[in-house]
Amino acid sequence: MAEKLGIIAGGGTLPKQLINHCHKEGRPYALLCLNDFTLPETAEDEECLWCRMGEAGKAISYFKKNGVHQIVMIGGVKRPSLLQLRPDWWTAKFLLKIGFKAFGDDNLLSSVIKGVEAEGFQFIGIHEIMTDLLADEGVWGKFEPDKQALADIKHGIKIALGLGALDVGQSVVVQQGIILGVEAVEGTDALIKRCKDLKREGVGGVLVKTKKPQQEKRADLPTIGVQTVVNAHAAGLRGIAVQAGNTLVADRQAVVEKADELGLFVVGVKCDDAG
């Protein structure tokens, strides 16, 4: 039998997919849900611990008590302010130790993983457990990007990787060679909605998502789902391009079906950190 898995569940539907996968594979797990992020349905009929982002010490004790060695972080979260964090003793000591690294998402995430692993745990990526979640290369549905869309995708990848290298965000929206918006702390869905009022006349734009070049792959990979497609259509976009091999897709079949229904293309693009 596989060893017990510690699941840190953020937002979205991916945590529930992982739980269902564990049930199917007969793998035991201990579930930790994050206040203000984990969907209620994720914890439905589940034994779990609810805690704040700032209660890392409580989480570590919970996983140790449950005999967990491997931990996976799955689902979206937004980094809280220090005021919202209200750190427990373990978290406070950790923040004092890493100092200025706490001000960057990538540095903070890498430092958190190292700090927790120092307690005897091993972090693994969701893609190591559910390999079918990773986006593959090519066109996924009925619709394909035309020449203008391909040019926008190429430009968007260059910009997204540049932003990622600066630890800014993972996504950009490009229309006819013009950058309508870039993702920062607001997240992809808010970026798409913001760009609705910025679109130009003519053919619609494209959402491009890539992994940050220096990003810790075991957590916080870029993710798309059905809601991404719905929001893109509502904003007048023509399609979505994601980095193949480095993007998670929540329920790919549903994503493709919704894109086909709404007339959008979805494509996985192979690119390295240089674009």
pLDDT at 107: 62
pLDDT surpasses 70 at 61: yes
* Residue 99, pLDDT score: 65
Q: Domains in the chain, start-ordered, CATH in brackets?
A: 5-129 (3.40.50.20), 134-269 (3.40.140.80)
Q: What is the pLDDT of residue 152?
A: 97
Residue-wise pLDDT for 146-183, tens only, equals 999 999 999 999 999 998 888 888 999 999 999 999 99
The pLDDT confidence band at residue 104, using thresholds 50, 70 and 90, is low
* Mean pLDDT, residues 29-37: 94
Instruction: Judge whether residue 117 has pLDDT over 60.
Output: yes
Task: Output the pLDDT for position 91.
Answer: 77
Higher-confidence position of 102 and 112: 112
Position with higher pLDDT, 1 vs 114: 114
pLDDT digits (tens, 9 = 90+) for 71-94: 999 998 876 666 666 777 887 787
What per-residue confidence (pLDDT) applies to 78? 75
| pLDDT(272) > 70 | yes
**DSSP output for the chain:** -PPPEEEEE-BSSHHHHHHHHHHHHT--EEEEEETTTS-HHHHTT--EEEE-TT-HHHHHHHHHHTT--EEEEESB--PPPHHHH---HHHHHHHHHHGGGGGSHHHHHHHHHHHHHTTT-EE--HHHH-GGGBPPSEE-SS----HHHHHHHHHHHHHHHHHHHTTS-SEEEEETTEEEEE-STT-HHHHHHHHTTTPPSSS--EEEE---TT--TTS---EE-HHHHHHHHHTT--EEEEETTS-EETTHHHHHHHHHHHT-EEEEE---TT-
Residue 54's pLDDT is what? Answer: 85
User: Quick one: what percent of the chain has pLDDT higher than 90?
Assistant: 67
The whole-chain average pLDDT of the chain stands at 89
214-271 pLDDT, tens digit per residue, is 777 887 789 999 999 999 999 999 999 999 999 999 999 999 999 999 999 999 999 8
Q: What is the mean pLDDT of residues 110-139?
A: 90
Residue 100 pLDDT > 80: no
